[in-house]
Amino acid sequence: AQKITQTQPGMFVQEKEAVTLDCTYDTSDQSYGLFWYKQPSSGEMIFLIYQGSYDEQNATEGRYSLNFQKARKSANLVISASQLGDSAMYFCAMRESTNAGKSTFGDGTTLTVKP
């Protein structure tokens, strides 16, 4: 079974609007971390935001927020006020205690921001 599922291969959003990128995960660990990365066409993976499994508050970093619903095992990324520079591939990832610290990545969602 997939540990990280990103069901949206591609998404479009109008500039200045908000967009939600979906991520669901599968783990039996009590302690784990969830991450979102952005990969522009240049190829570099850029860390965006982190959520720990014990964090009660949803993580926020500037225009990025993580909608963490633990019971549903979802960790959706919300980008507010989209900009043209947000066009990129976005990856959700998880690191589990029992997986010897290895991270698992989803297949990614390609976001295109339209002017």
Binds another protein (CB under 8 A): choice among 5, 8, 74, 105: 105
Contact 92, 76 (CB under 8 A): no
Q: How far is the CB of 98 from another protein (least distance, A)?
A: 8
CB-based contacts of 64, cutoff 8 Å, min separation 6: 36, 48, 49, 77, 78, 79
Q: Among the candidate windows 10-18, 41-49, 64-72, 78-86, which touches another protein by CB under 8 A?
A: 41-49
Residue 61 interacts with another protein (CB under 8 A): yes or no: no
Binds another protein (CB under 8 A): choice among 41, 43, 71, 72: 43
Terminus-to-terminus CA distance in the chain, angstroms?
A: 38
CB-based contacts of 87, cutoff 8 Å, min separation 6: 40, 111, 112, 113
Q: How far is the CB of 75 from another protein (least distance, A)?
A: 13
Q: How far is the CB of 107 from another protein (least distance, A)?
A: 5
